[in-house]
Amino acid sequence: MALAQNFPVFDTNFVGRMRSIWLLLLAMLVGLGLEALRSGGELGGDLFDKYRSRWHLAGLIVAVAVALGGVVHVLRLASREGRLSEVGQSVAVAGIAAVIIIGAVLFRHRSSLNQFLPVVVAGVAAVEILLFVGPFWPSEVPERHYPTTPAHEFLASQASGDRIAAHDLALYSGTTTHYGIRTVTGHVFHQPTWRDLLVAIDPEAFDRSYTFSFLEFLDVNRLSSPVLDRMSVRWLVTQVDFPLPGTPFALSSGDSSRELKPDNHLDVVVASRPMRGVEILLVEDFFTSDLAGRLRVEVVGADGVVRTGRRHVRGFLPAGSHWIPVAAEDLPSSGEALIRIRLDAEDGALNLKTDQLGAPVLNGMESGGRGLRLAYADDVAIWENLDALDRVRFAPEGVVIRDGQERVEMLQAGLPSELMLLSEQSDHLTSSVAAKAVIHNFDDQLDHLNISLTTTGPGWLVVADAMQDGWIASVNGVDQPLVAADHALVGVPVPEGSSTVKLQYRPSGLRAGAFISVLSLALMFSLVWRSRRTQRGNYGSGVGSSSIVV
């Protein structure tokens, strides 16, 4: 399996895909074996002599030798990795299954066993397959398989209908569907135009897998990408040790040091001002055996509200400066604020730089005007993209740009929200005067959308979802064509005045598939009914009777 993983196609897929293919091949072999047993003759005569030929005997010896060599190799690797017991059980099950099948084949000439041979073979194969997939079968309850964290709860309440983007694996995109969270990346077959936009944000978005997209924001400029704004990415998720974008400033100073142990804290009173992070200075390397240990900073403003931020330690922090994100951008710019540093770990001690009185030396981070607001900082950091466009918006003007690369470059540079890029010329005419619109209702039912709006002139309704086959649109009950908007999104022409726009997912082959399925069922039932009727007729007429009239 490890060897096959290196071949093209499989080299970008995880080993689990290979298990599925092996199970499919095993099922095919079982089917071929059953057919051979049903159609084969007795192991005797000319057929038996054929199977005793030297070539078949040599092939059998080679197959057994390869099987035994493979078993020895697998057991040796398992012993080296300390998993001999688990792997040995699997090998034992396979050996028992082989003995049962071989025994059933050798003694199949007995009428009692011959009758149940297909059942024996299928049963043994089913047991072996179940044992093979058992370790990978989901056995946890959904609440443990998909645990709900404070970050999920925050996004579920704040990002309703909006799209999020996560840095690498800060929030695993493939699991967000369970929580009802809409992501810009995922484990899917992306539309080519959607792929273009993701690559425009991060050129390495598809380097790991053709079907699994990842975005990395280590270059913090990507957080403010105009393409993300266009795709309606309102929330960005990063790790808490992610580089903080913004402008640093000094909060306190000093040249002394003091130890901070668990269950203790160090405080300092500073001038209140909005901030999104606090920087501490470690005099010495920090070690702890608590891999779940975290640093905690609490900012208490004049309003008495405690704003908390945390950062993982993971057992070690080197000497130097370390930022802890804290969602305190709503602090007033006047008065004083109390900043408290804590160590949430079972052991270890932080040697922090302080002043003579033991107050920690700290720096702060302000926004820096990037259009981002740190809204949450605990298990992950969640940023609100203040420049993100609404997922459903009205664009009074459309410009035709036929070249795809040119469209993507224009989107990267940034465009006004009132302008929509068209891939092809449209016969929908818009007014020379910029029209305005009010969207009254947006009902998202996943496979159909209902949108009502009122406009002062004709224009385009832009939905920041991927343009895909199978979607149809109607405006006030009249079918309308879908057009590619902003290279990869969905556009619907709307007239002046009040409109009700409906988008529905109706795959082109759905009706044909349903008709063929119904027709196939009807044909199957008619054949069964005709077969039974024929059998009853044969029994009634005496056809097939073994009686002899003398």
Structure tokens at 162: 């909006």
Q: Which is more confidently placed, 533 or 47?
A: 533
| Burial class of residue 40 (count of CB atoms within 10 Å of its CB; 0-12, 13-18, 19+) | exposed
Asked whether residue 369 carries a pLDDT value surpassing 60, the answer given is: yes
Query: Mean pLDDT in the chain?
Result: 85
Maximum alpha-carbon separation in the chain: 126
Average pLDDT over residues 383-397: 94
pLDDT bucket at 545, cuts 50 / 70 / 90: very low
CB distance 336 to 303 below 8 Å: no
- Residue 232 contacts residue 390 (beta carbons within 8 Å): yes
Residue with token string 């400033």? 249
DSSP type of residue 330: T
What count of other Cβ atoms lies within 10 Å of the Cβ of residue 380?
Answer: 23
Give the tokens for residue 57.
């005997």
Query: Which residue did the predictor score with more confidence, 8 or 160?
Result: 160
Residues 456-484 pLDDT 10s:
999 999 999 999 888 999 999 999 999 99
Query: 537 pLDDT band (50/70/90 cuts)?
Result: low
pLDDT tens digits for range 227-277:
999 999 999 999 988 889 999 999 999 999 999 999 899 999 999 999 999
Q: What tens digit of pLDDT does each residue of 340-363 get? A: 999 999 999 999 999 999 999 999
Under the banding of pLDDT at 50, 70 and 90, the label for residue 141 is confident
* Selection from 481, 473, 476 nearest residue 506 by Cα: 473
Query: CA 204 → CA 12, 129, 174, distances in Å?
Result: 14, 38, 18
pLDDT value of residue 550? 33
Residue 8's pLDDT band (cuts 50, 70, 90)? low
* Mean pLDDT computed over 519-523: 89
What is the rounded CA–CA span in Å between residue 74 and residue 367?
56
pLDDT for the residue numbered 547:
38
pLDDT at 377 (0 to 100): 94
The residues near 150 (Cβ < 8 Å, ≥ 6 apart) are 378, 379
Q: Closest Cα to residue 257, out of 286, 237, 226?
A: 286
431 exposure class (CB count in 10 Å sphere: 0-12, 13-18, 19+): middle
Q: CA 52, 56, 62, 66: dihedral to nearest 10 degrees?
A: -100
pLDDT, tens digit (0-9, with 9 covering 90-100), for 196-210: 999 999 999 998 888
pLDDT at residue number 548: 37
What is the pLDDT, as a whole number, of residue 86? 79
Grouping H, G, I as helix, E, B as strand and the rest as coil, residue 33 is helix
Percent of the chain with pLDDT over 70: 84
Listed as own residue / partner, the contacts of 405-411 with beta carbons closer than 8 Å and 24 or more positions apart are: 407/486, 407/487, 408/196, 408/197, 408/200, 408/227, 408/487, 411/197, 411/200, 411/226, 411/227, 411/230, 411/486, 411/487
Contact 306, 265 (CB under 8 A): no
Helix (H) or strand (E) holding 325: strand 320-328
Whether residue 98 contacts residue 74, with contact meaning beta carbons closer than 8 Å, is answered with no
* 20-34, 280-294, 483-497: range with lowest mean pLDDT: 20-34
Is the model's pLDDT at 397 over the cut of 60? yes
